[in-house]
A and B are shown apart, each in its own frame.
Chain A
Amino acid sequence: MHIPDGFLSPPVWATLDAVSLTAVGLIARRAQRDTEESIVPLLGVMGAFVFAAQMINFPVGLGTSGHLVGGALLAMVLGPAAATVVMTAILVIQAFVFQDGGVMSLGANIFNMALAGVFAGYLPYRYWAASPRARKAAIFAGGTLSVLVSACFALAQLAISGVPLRRWLPVSLVLFLVSALLEGAITVAAVSAIERLNAAWVRRPITTASRPVGIIAIAAILLVTAGVLVATAAPDGIEKLAAQIGIAAHSPTWLHAPLADYEWQGLQSSWLRKASAGFTGMALLYGACLITGRFLSRQRSS
């Protein structure tokens, strides 16, 4: 789902442009340093392959068909860093040459598909694909997650920008879930077929990767995605839930203070308030996950 220009409010696209530019810049520079020059044509041609692969229709029945999106497949073949660079290149070409996705919203699209989508698509593969029994399930989960996470972030960004999605959220979520499952199935079929031709083309997953860390990582990304989506698109739901279980009545005041009513008191303009409150929430969630991850990895190494 490519967000065109005109949909995201300025704070949303500006923040995501800054985040994506920095992240992709770091990843690309590190990849440039760590890899040989010979990888450049491969990355470009793989990007062209993902473009061309959209012409191959996968029949689903009922006369409809889907096609490969490719984020998870690229991560499994090239590794997550190179896959991010290739997906970014694809999005740049789509935005500038095909008017598929906007220029100002390029950062948002890169964040959703090239960063979050590739990361979510790679995680299950990295942690679970080493065991032959779970391999197919891991690849399926990777394909599904990559599309689902991208779509949820895109919906959240649209909602936070004020596109009134609330009533349509269930419908769009079901539609995205179907296409995500389809991407999972296509990724499994494609990876198996590629491995039959030459097993060396698909990266070996890490055999020493621990399962609990994998579970926590995937749970974290699911929680952040779902949390961001719910918080931006249906804040009423959270308030209702809070009222039902009685948090609202019993919570101490300091819990309310920073994000009171999901808006900052100090800021005047309403979109700025909503956007900044949303992003603070995102940053807090991210920080919480980061600290948990650090803590866990330190415990493991000690």
Chain B
Amino acid sequence: MHHVVVERWSRASSPLHARDPLAKLAALLAFLLALSTTPARSQIAFLGYAALIGAAMAGSRLPLGGLVRRAALVLPFSATFAFITWLSGEPERALALAEKSFLSGLAALLLIATTPLTPLLAALESLRMPRLLILVVQFLYRYLFVISEQAQHMRLAAQSRGSSRRHGFTAAAGALSVLFARSWERSDGIYRAMLSRGFTGRFSTREHLHLHLADAAFLTAVVAACLAIRLVA
């Protein structure tokens, strides 16, 4: 499963991994803001943004090909709309659409590939995001793979008993309801287990958020680079 790859990447170590999650998040937002406001005609600016992302990718010490391939998942969607724009006689705009969505995807991927989700969510919580939402995201991510695996097992079981497509709608709805029931019961068990382990209403992270000098320097460098590129454009 491809998402496990990102999980493994996020636990590696590199200069970019070592940066504070909040600094990385702020840097991502600055980059996306600059990219989003860049006019379609300034191709030189997109080259600058690509160089900036390239530098960050090098700093992450992650496989470049793997990162680019994962970020390319956005291309089918954006290529469709870029094609429509191209047909409407705006080739420049079409190219910019594809470039913007690909570079944005790459930047967001770079954040999650160098930051495990728990510290990232802790950073979001320090920005006063509602705690309920943060907790739900945590649980969702933790049980995503468990429930997905269960769904795969159920599919395999159904196939090995000779199920095929023509068993149709009702059979699929039945499978869905069983998955639902198992998820519901699992959540009951999870809650009891949490209580018996002394859950206080929040996940505690080992690392404490702390903006070091290196984090401030990193953020300043990214913001300065984005500003420079945006002003040249």
A residues whose Cβ falls under 8 Å from a Cβ of B: 2, 4-7, 10, 13, 24-25, 28-29, 31-32, 37-38, 40-49, 51-53, 55-59, 65, 68, 85-86, 88-90, 92-93, 95-100, 102-104, 158, 162-165, 167-168, 185-186, 189-190, 192-194, 196-198, 201
Whether the Cβ atoms of B144 and A56 lie closer than 8 Å is no
With A65-B165, A85-B136, A201-B184 as contacts: A6 and B155 at CB distance below 8 Å? no
Query: What residue of chain B has the Cβ atom nearest to residue A193's Cβ?
Result: B177
Stretch at the interface among B12-20, B51-59, B101-109, B205-213: B101-109
Whether the Cβ atoms of A44 and B143 lie closer than 8 Å is yes
B194 in the interface (beta carbon within 8 A) = yes
Contact indicator per residue, chain B 144-180, by CB within 8 Å of chain A (1) or not (0): 1011101110010000000001101110111111111
Whether the Cβ atoms of B136 and A86 lie closer than 8 Å is yes
With A59-B165, A102-B104 as contacts: A24 and B140 at CB distance below 8 Å? no
Whether the Cβ atoms of B101 and A28 lie closer than 8 Å is no
With A29-B132, A96-B108 as contacts: A58 and B172 at CB distance below 8 Å? yes
The complex places the Cα of A89 from the Cα of B141 at a distance, in Å, of 9
B112 in the interface (beta carbon within 8 A) = yes
B2-58 interface (Cβ within 8 A of A): 3, 6, 28-29, 32-33, 35-37
Whether the Cβ atoms of B130 and A167 lie closer than 8 Å is no
Whether the Cβ atoms of B133 and A55 lie closer than 8 Å is no
Q: Shortest Cβ distance from B147 into chain A, in angstroms?
A: 4
Whether the Cβ atoms of A96 and B112 lie closer than 8 Å is yes
Q: Which residues of B contact A48 (CB under 8 A)?
A: 139-140, 143-144, 146-148, 183
Whether the Cβ atoms of B105 and A59 lie closer than 8 Å is no
| Pairs across A and B, CB under 8 Å, 28 listed | A4-B77, A6-B35, A6-B36, A7-B81, A13-B36, A28-B130, A40-B132, A42-B188, A48-B139, A51-B140, A52-B150, A52-B151, A56-B172, A56-B175, A57-B172, A86-B140, A97-B117, A98-B3, A100-B73, A102-B101, A102-B104, A163-B84, A164-B90, A185-B169, A190-B173, A194-B176, A197-B177, A198-B181
Q: Which of A86, A96, A168 contacts B84 (CB 8 A)?
A: A168
The complex places the Cα of A164 from the Cα of B201 at a distance, in Å, of 48
Query: What residue of chain A has the Cβ atom nearest to residue B165's Cβ?
Result: A59
Whether the Cβ atoms of A43 and B176 lie closer than 8 Å is no
Whether the Cβ atoms of A6 and B100 lie closer than 8 Å is yes
Query: What residue of chain B has the Cβ atom nearest to residue A106's Cβ?
Result: B108
- Identify 6 new A-B residue pairs, CB closer than 8 A, beyond the known A41-B139, A45-B187: A46-B183, A48-B140, A48-B148, A49-B183, A96-B117, A104-B36
Whether the Cβ atoms of A42 and B187 lie closer than 8 Å is yes
With A13-B36, A185-B169, A189-B170 as contacts: A41 and B101 at CB distance below 8 Å? no
The complex places the Cα of A85 from the Cα of B137 at a distance, in Å, of 9
Q: Which residues of A contact B93 (CB under 8 A)?
A: 162
Grouping DSSP codes into helix (H, G, I), strand (E, B) and loop, the B interface class, with mixed when no group exceeds half, is helix
The complex places the Cα of A68 from the Cα of B84 at a distance, in Å, of 28
The complex places the Cα of A49 from the Cα of B184 at a distance, in Å, of 9
Q: What 4 pairs across the A-B complex have the smallest Cβ distances?
A: A44-B139, A6-B100, A5-B104, A193-B177
Q: Which residues of B contact A43 (CB under 8 A)?
A: 132, 136, 139
B233 in the interface (beta carbon within 8 A) = no
Q: Which residues of A contact B99 (CB under 8 A)?
A: 6
Whether the Cβ atoms of A45 and B183 lie closer than 8 Å is yes
Counting chain A CB atoms within 10 Å of each CB, the highest count among B37, B71, B135, B181 belongs to: B135
B88 in the interface (beta carbon within 8 A) = yes
Whether the Cβ atoms of A32 and B155 lie closer than 8 Å is no
Q: Which of A25, A56, A100 contacts B151 (CB 8 A)?
A: A56
Q: Which residues of A contact B130 (CB under 8 A)?
A: 24-25, 28-29, 32
Whether the Cβ atoms of B148 and A51 lie closer than 8 Å is yes
Q: Shortest Cβ distance from B72 into chain A, in angstroms?
A: 9
The complex places the Cα of A51 from the Cα of B172 at a distance, in Å, of 15
Whether the Cβ atoms of A28 and B133 lie closer than 8 Å is yes
The complex places the Cα of A36 from the Cα of B41 at a distance, in Å, of 53
The complex places the Cα of A197 from the Cα of B228 at a distance, in Å, of 61
Q: Which of B142, B172, B174 contacts A59 (CB 8 A)?
A: B172
Q: Which residues of A contact B151 (CB under 8 A)?
A: 52-53, 55-56
With A5-B104, A13-B36, A193-B177 as contacts: A164 and B84 at CB distance below 8 Å? yes
With A24-B133, A104-B33, A163-B84 as contacts: A4 and B111 at CB distance below 8 Å? no
Q: Which of A25, A52, A104 contacts B32 (CB 8 A)?
A: A104
With A5-B100, A52-B148, A99-B108 as contacts: A88 and B133 at CB distance below 8 Å? yes
Whether the Cβ atoms of B136 and A4 lie closer than 8 Å is no
B221 in the interface (beta carbon within 8 A) = no
